[in-house]
Protein backbone atom coordinates (compact mmCIF):
# COMPACT_ATOMS: atom_id res chain seq x y z
CA UNK A 1 0.00 0.00 0.00
CA UNK A 2 1.18 3.52 -0.73
CA UNK A 3 2.27 5.09 2.59
CA UNK A 4 -0.04 8.08 2.14
CA UNK A 5 -3.11 6.02 1.34
CA UNK A 6 -5.33 6.90 4.29
CA UNK A 7 -8.90 7.97 4.76
CA UNK A 8 -9.42 11.64 5.65
CA UNK A 9 -12.36 12.86 7.69
CA UNK A 10 -12.91 16.30 9.10
CA UNK A 11 -14.73 16.68 12.41
CA UNK A 12 -17.07 19.60 13.11
CA UNK A 13 -17.47 18.95 16.87
CA UNK A 14 -15.53 17.59 19.84
CA UNK A 15 -17.82 14.59 20.30
CA UNK A 16 -17.80 13.79 16.56
CA UNK A 17 -13.99 13.59 16.62
CA UNK A 18 -14.00 11.02 19.43
CA UNK A 19 -16.85 9.13 17.76
CA UNK A 20 -14.92 8.95 14.47
CA UNK A 21 -11.73 7.85 16.25
CA UNK A 22 -13.60 5.11 18.13
CA UNK A 23 -15.41 3.97 14.99
CA UNK A 24 -12.16 3.54 13.05
CA UNK A 25 -10.50 1.76 15.99
CA UNK A 26 -13.46 -0.63 16.30
CA UNK A 27 -13.10 -1.44 12.59
CA UNK A 28 -9.50 -2.49 13.32
CA UNK A 29 -8.06 0.60 11.61
CA UNK A 30 -5.31 2.87 12.96
CA UNK A 31 -6.75 6.38 13.32
CA UNK A 32 -4.74 9.52 14.11
CA UNK A 33 -5.81 13.04 14.91
CA UNK A 34 -4.65 15.57 12.34
CA UNK A 35 -3.58 19.16 13.08
CA UNK A 36 -1.36 20.80 10.46
CA UNK A 37 -0.53 17.39 9.02
CA UNK A 38 3.14 18.31 8.43
CA UNK A 39 4.53 15.52 10.60
CA UNK A 40 1.97 12.92 9.52
CA UNK A 41 2.83 13.60 5.87
CA UNK A 42 6.61 13.86 6.40
CA UNK A 43 6.93 10.76 8.58
CA UNK A 44 4.32 8.94 6.48
CA UNK A 45 6.55 9.30 3.43
CA UNK A 46 9.38 7.75 5.48
CA UNK A 47 7.06 4.91 6.61
CA UNK A 48 7.52 6.01 10.23
CA UNK A 49 3.80 6.65 10.77
CA UNK A 50 1.13 4.87 8.80
CA UNK A 51 -2.40 5.74 9.85
CA UNK A 52 -5.35 4.13 8.07
CA UNK A 53 -7.44 7.21 8.79
CA UNK A 54 -6.88 10.77 9.97
CA UNK A 55 -9.41 12.96 11.77
CA UNK A 56 -8.91 16.66 11.14
CA UNK A 57 -9.59 18.67 14.29
CA UNK A 58 -9.27 22.13 12.72
CA UNK A 59 -12.99 22.64 11.94
CA UNK A 60 -13.88 22.28 15.66
CA UNK A 61 -14.58 25.85 16.86
CA UNK A 62 -13.22 25.23 20.40
CA UNK A 63 -9.80 24.34 18.92
CA UNK A 64 -9.65 27.70 17.10
CA UNK A 65 -10.21 29.97 20.11
CA UNK A 66 -7.68 32.77 20.74
CA UNK A 67 -9.01 34.94 23.55
CA UNK A 68 -8.45 36.33 27.03
CA UNK A 69 -11.27 35.20 29.31
CA UNK A 70 -11.22 36.56 32.90
CA UNK A 71 -7.47 37.06 32.78
CA UNK A 72 -6.80 33.63 31.34
CA UNK A 73 -5.41 33.30 27.86
CA UNK A 74 -7.20 30.50 26.03
CA UNK A 75 -5.50 29.14 22.91
CA UNK A 76 -7.07 26.39 20.81
CA UNK A 77 -4.91 23.43 19.87
CA UNK A 78 -5.51 23.97 16.13
CA UNK A 79 -4.08 27.50 16.17
CA UNK A 80 -1.09 27.60 13.82
CA UNK A 81 2.29 28.94 14.85
CA UNK A 82 1.88 31.75 12.29
CA UNK A 83 -1.41 32.81 13.88
CA UNK A 84 0.53 33.17 17.15
CA UNK A 85 3.43 35.12 15.69
CA UNK A 86 1.14 37.38 13.63
CA UNK A 87 -1.26 38.42 16.42
CA UNK A 88 0.12 41.76 17.69
CA UNK A 89 -1.88 41.54 20.94
CA UNK A 90 -0.14 38.27 21.85
CA UNK A 91 3.10 40.26 22.02
CA UNK A 92 1.68 41.67 25.26
CA UNK A 93 -0.55 38.79 26.32
CA UNK A 94 2.10 36.02 26.05
CA UNK A 95 5.37 37.38 24.61
CA UNK A 96 7.39 34.32 25.62
CA UNK A 97 5.12 32.06 23.55
CA UNK A 98 5.33 34.38 20.58
CA UNK A 99 9.14 34.50 20.68
CA UNK A 100 9.48 30.75 21.20
CA UNK A 101 7.23 29.67 18.33
CA UNK A 102 8.74 32.26 16.00
CA UNK A 103 11.96 30.22 16.17
CA UNK A 104 10.29 26.92 15.19
CA UNK A 105 10.80 25.75 11.58
CA UNK A 106 10.42 28.30 8.74
CA UNK A 107 7.42 30.44 7.93
CA UNK A 108 6.00 28.04 5.33
CA UNK A 109 5.99 25.21 7.87
CA UNK A 110 4.71 27.50 10.66
CA UNK A 111 1.73 28.34 8.44
CA UNK A 112 0.64 24.71 8.88
CA UNK A 113 2.10 23.51 12.20
CA UNK A 114 -0.44 23.74 15.05
CA UNK A 115 0.36 24.22 18.74
CA UNK A 116 -1.18 20.87 19.72
CA UNK A 117 0.51 19.14 16.77
CA UNK A 118 3.88 20.45 17.93
CA UNK A 119 3.27 19.40 21.53
CA UNK A 120 1.94 15.93 20.57
CA UNK A 121 4.37 15.27 17.73
CA UNK A 122 6.88 12.45 17.42
CA UNK A 123 9.70 14.85 16.47
CA UNK A 124 10.94 15.27 19.99
CA UNK A 125 11.85 18.95 20.20
CA UNK A 126 8.24 20.08 20.86
CA UNK A 127 9.49 23.60 21.55
CA UNK A 128 5.99 25.11 21.76
CA UNK A 129 5.45 23.32 25.06
CA UNK A 130 8.26 25.21 26.85
CA UNK A 131 6.30 28.43 27.63
CA UNK A 132 3.33 26.38 28.89
CA UNK A 133 5.63 24.33 31.16
CA UNK A 134 7.17 27.38 32.82
CA UNK A 135 3.78 29.07 33.18
CA UNK A 136 2.15 26.01 34.82
CA UNK A 137 -0.59 26.26 32.19
CA UNK A 138 -3.70 24.09 32.14
CA UNK A 139 -4.65 21.81 29.29
CA UNK A 140 -8.24 21.15 28.26
CA UNK A 141 -8.65 17.81 26.53
CA UNK A 142 -11.58 15.90 25.14
CA UNK A 143 -11.86 12.14 25.11
CA UNK A 144 -14.08 9.20 25.96
CA UNK A 145 -14.67 10.61 29.42
CA UNK A 146 -15.61 13.93 27.82
CA UNK A 147 -13.88 17.23 28.63
CA UNK A 148 -11.13 17.51 31.26
CA UNK A 149 -8.90 20.30 32.50
CA UNK A 150 -5.57 19.33 34.03
CA UNK A 151 -2.18 20.84 34.76
CA UNK A 152 0.24 20.73 31.82
CA UNK A 153 2.53 18.71 34.09
CA UNK A 154 -0.05 15.90 34.25
CA UNK A 155 -0.75 15.92 30.53
CA UNK A 156 2.87 16.37 29.42
CA UNK A 157 5.83 14.54 30.91
CA UNK A 158 8.59 14.38 28.30
CA UNK A 159 5.78 13.73 25.80
CA UNK A 160 2.00 14.11 25.72
CA UNK A 161 0.27 11.58 27.97
CA UNK A 162 -3.19 11.18 26.49
CA UNK A 163 -5.62 8.29 26.25
CA UNK A 164 -5.86 6.80 22.74
CA UNK A 165 -8.94 8.78 21.62
CA UNK A 166 -8.20 11.88 23.73
CA UNK A 167 -6.96 15.08 22.13
CA UNK A 168 -5.88 18.59 23.15
CA UNK A 169 -8.62 21.17 22.79
CA UNK A 170 -7.14 24.26 24.47
CA UNK A 171 -4.23 25.56 26.56
CA UNK A 172 -5.08 27.99 29.33
CA UNK A 173 -2.52 30.34 30.91
CA UNK A 174 -2.80 32.76 33.85
CA UNK A 175 -1.91 36.39 33.41
CA UNK A 176 0.76 36.57 36.14
CA UNK A 177 2.93 33.92 34.54
CA UNK A 178 2.48 34.83 30.89
CA UNK A 179 3.30 38.52 31.44
CA UNK A 180 6.26 37.92 33.78
CA UNK A 181 9.81 38.95 32.72
CA UNK A 182 11.03 36.28 30.30
CA UNK A 183 13.88 35.08 28.12
CA UNK A 184 13.90 32.63 25.22
CA UNK A 185 17.20 31.52 23.75
CA UNK A 186 17.62 29.09 20.87
CA UNK A 187 21.06 28.02 19.72
CA UNK A 188 21.37 26.03 16.47
CA UNK A 189 24.28 24.41 14.69
CA UNK A 190 24.10 27.11 12.01
CA UNK A 191 21.76 29.66 10.50
CA UNK A 192 18.38 30.95 11.61
CA UNK A 193 16.25 27.90 10.82
CA UNK A 194 16.68 24.40 12.20
CA UNK A 195 16.39 22.17 15.21
CA UNK A 196 17.96 23.41 18.44
CA UNK A 197 21.21 22.41 20.08
CA UNK A 198 19.64 24.12 23.07
CA UNK A 199 16.31 25.93 23.29
CA UNK A 200 15.42 27.37 26.70
CA UNK A 201 12.40 29.35 27.86
CA UNK A 202 12.50 31.07 31.24
CA UNK A 203 10.42 33.45 33.33
CA UNK A 204 11.10 35.21 36.61
CA UNK A 205 8.17 35.03 39.00
CA UNK A 206 7.99 35.47 42.81
CA UNK A 207 11.74 36.16 42.63
CA UNK A 208 12.35 32.68 41.23
CA UNK A 209 13.48 31.64 37.80
CA UNK A 210 11.51 28.91 36.11
CA UNK A 211 13.15 27.31 33.10
CA UNK A 212 12.32 24.61 30.55
CA UNK A 213 14.56 23.09 27.90
CA UNK A 214 14.35 21.44 24.50
CA UNK A 215 17.22 20.07 22.45
CA UNK A 216 19.30 19.09 25.49
CA UNK A 217 17.75 15.63 25.89
CA UNK A 218 15.52 13.66 23.50
CA UNK A 219 12.50 15.30 25.13
CA UNK A 220 11.60 18.74 26.53
CA UNK A 221 11.65 19.11 30.30
CA UNK A 222 11.46 21.41 33.28
CA UNK A 223 13.34 20.44 36.45
CA UNK A 224 12.63 21.75 39.95
CA UNK A 225 16.10 20.50 41.03
CA UNK A 226 17.75 22.74 38.43
CA UNK A 227 15.55 25.71 39.39
CA UNK A 228 16.46 25.27 43.08
CA UNK A 229 20.20 25.20 42.33
CA UNK A 230 19.98 28.26 40.09
CA UNK A 231 18.63 30.39 42.94
CA UNK A 232 21.17 29.27 45.56
CA UNK A 233 22.94 32.23 47.12
CA UNK A 234 26.58 32.07 48.16
CA UNK A 235 27.66 30.43 44.91
CA UNK A 236 28.98 32.16 41.82
CA UNK A 237 26.88 32.06 38.66
CA UNK A 238 29.33 29.61 37.12
CA UNK A 239 29.15 27.30 40.15
CA UNK A 240 25.35 27.32 40.07
CA UNK A 241 25.33 26.64 36.33
CA UNK A 242 27.83 23.78 36.66
CA UNK A 243 25.85 22.21 39.52
CA UNK A 244 22.59 22.61 37.60
CA UNK A 245 24.03 20.80 34.58
CA UNK A 246 25.27 17.99 36.81
CA UNK A 247 21.61 17.34 37.67
CA UNK A 248 21.02 16.14 34.12
CA UNK A 249 22.18 12.51 33.76
CA UNK A 250 24.96 12.85 31.19
CA UNK A 251 23.81 9.80 29.18
CA UNK A 252 20.55 11.69 28.53
CA UNK A 253 22.31 14.68 26.97
CA UNK A 254 22.02 14.32 23.20
CA UNK A 255 25.10 13.37 21.23
CA UNK A 256 24.13 13.50 17.57
CA UNK A 257 24.66 15.09 14.14
CA UNK A 258 23.53 18.48 15.49
CA UNK A 259 26.16 18.60 18.26
CA UNK A 260 28.37 16.37 20.36
CA UNK A 261 27.44 15.87 24.03
CA UNK A 262 30.42 17.96 25.14
CA UNK A 263 29.59 20.86 22.83
CA UNK A 264 25.89 20.76 23.76
CA UNK A 265 26.84 20.89 27.45
CA UNK A 266 29.12 23.88 26.76
CA UNK A 267 26.30 25.67 24.90
CA UNK A 268 23.85 24.86 27.70
CA UNK A 269 26.20 26.39 30.28
CA UNK A 270 26.42 29.61 28.27
CA UNK A 271 22.65 29.73 27.78
CA UNK A 272 22.05 29.28 31.53
CA UNK A 273 24.55 32.03 32.35
CA UNK A 274 22.90 34.39 29.90
CA UNK A 275 19.46 33.65 31.33
CA UNK A 276 20.65 34.38 34.87
CA UNK A 277 22.23 37.65 33.71
CA UNK A 278 19.17 38.76 31.77
CA UNK A 279 16.59 37.78 34.38
CA UNK A 280 18.52 39.26 37.26
CA UNK A 281 19.41 35.99 38.92
CA UNK A 282 23.15 36.60 38.68
Ligand X SMILES: Cc1cc2nc3c(=O)[nH]c(=O)nc-3n(C[C@H](O)[C@H](O)[C@H](O)COP(=O)(O)OP(=O)(O)OC[C@H]3O[C@@H](n4cnc5c(N)ncnc54)[C@H](O)[C@@H]3O)c2cc1C
CB closer to ligand X, 195 vs 213 = 195
CB closer to ligand X, 43 vs 205 = 43
Interface with ligand X, residue 36, by CB under 6 A: yes
Stretch that binds ligand X, among 13-21, 31-39, 132-140, 203-211 (CB under 6 A): 31-39
CB closer to ligand X, 81 vs 180 = 81
CB closer to ligand X, 179 vs 199 = 199
What share of residues in the chain are helix, strand, coil (percent, to 5)? 35, 25, 35
Residues 191-210 that bind ligand X (CB under 6 A): 195
| Beta carbons of 77 and 114 less than 8 angstroms apart | yes
Q: Which of helix, strand or coil describes residue 200?
A: strand
Residues 63-102 that bind ligand X (CB under 6 A): 77
CA–CA separation, 51 and 7 (whole Å): 9
Strands (E), 70-207: 72-76, 138-143, 146-151, 156-157, 159-160, 167-173, 182-187, 198-205
CB closer to ligand X, 22 vs 243 = 22
Q: Which of helix, strand or coil describes residue 251?
A: helix
Strands (E), 70-145: 72-76, 138-143
Sole binder of ligand X in the list 126, 184, 240, 264 (CB under 6 A): 126
Catalog residues that contact ligand X under the rule CB under 6 A: 32-40, 42, 57, 77, 104-105, 109, 112-114, 116-118, 120-121, 123, 125-127, 162, 167-168, 195
Amino acid sequence: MHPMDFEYVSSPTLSDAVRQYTRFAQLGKRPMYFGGGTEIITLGRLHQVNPDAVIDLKPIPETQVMAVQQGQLVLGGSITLTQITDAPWLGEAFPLLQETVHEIADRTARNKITIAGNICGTIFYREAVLPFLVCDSKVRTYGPKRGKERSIHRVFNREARLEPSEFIVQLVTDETARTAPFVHIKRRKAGRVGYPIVSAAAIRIDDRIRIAFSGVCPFPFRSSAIETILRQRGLTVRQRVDQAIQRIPSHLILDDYEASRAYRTFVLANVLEEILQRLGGA
